[in-house]
């Protein structure tokens, strides 16, 4: 089976930069997507196709991908950015749709 690996938690001070990594063997060939999920809410797409930002998502959210690792960067993290963040992609065949285990971002 295919897996995406994320750190369980990331802590950052307000105004500083948080980086969340996601590693997977198929990432050189497949796009990575990032979702933000606040407590009790549905997930929200914050980055698609490695580095594109949907309309309405603040510019402080950015994404990149190199080799087998993708990174979500929150530049100038705000208290309201506290949430669980999940990366998502597929295996090389496209048949298996997989989420990472999630990273809890704490801003304090």
Instruction: Please give the residue ranges that form the binding site for other proteins (CB under 8 A).
Output: 1, 30-31, 33, 35, 41-45, 48-49, 54, 86, 88-90, 94-95, 97-102
Which are the contacts of 87, defined by CB distance < 8 A and separation ≥ 6?
Answer: 4, 6, 20, 22, 32, 33, 34, 35, 70, 72, 99, 100
CB nearer other proteins, residue 17 or residue 49 = 49
Q: Shortest Cβ distance from residue 61 to other proteins (Å)?
A: 15
Kindly tell me which of 19 and 97 has the beta carbon lying closer to other proteins.
Answer: 97
Give the list of residues 6+ apart from residue 14 with CB closer than 8 angstroms, or none: 77, 78, 79, 107, 108
Nearer to other proteins, 36 or 71 (CB): 36
């Amino acid at each position: 089976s295919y897996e995406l690996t994320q750190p369980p938690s990331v802590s950052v001070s307000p105004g500083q930069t948080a980086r969340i990594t996601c590693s997977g063997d198929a990432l050189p060939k497949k796009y990575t997507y990032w979702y933000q999920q606040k407590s009790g809410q549905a997930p929200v797409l914050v980055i698609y196709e490695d580095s594109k930002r949907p309309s309405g998502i603040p510019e402080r959210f950015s994404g990149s991908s190199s080799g087998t690792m993708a990174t979500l960067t929150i530049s100038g993290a705000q208290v309201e950015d506290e949430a669980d963040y999940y990366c998502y992609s597929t295996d090389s065949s496209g048949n298996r749709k997989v989420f990472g285990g999630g990273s809890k971002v704490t801003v304090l």
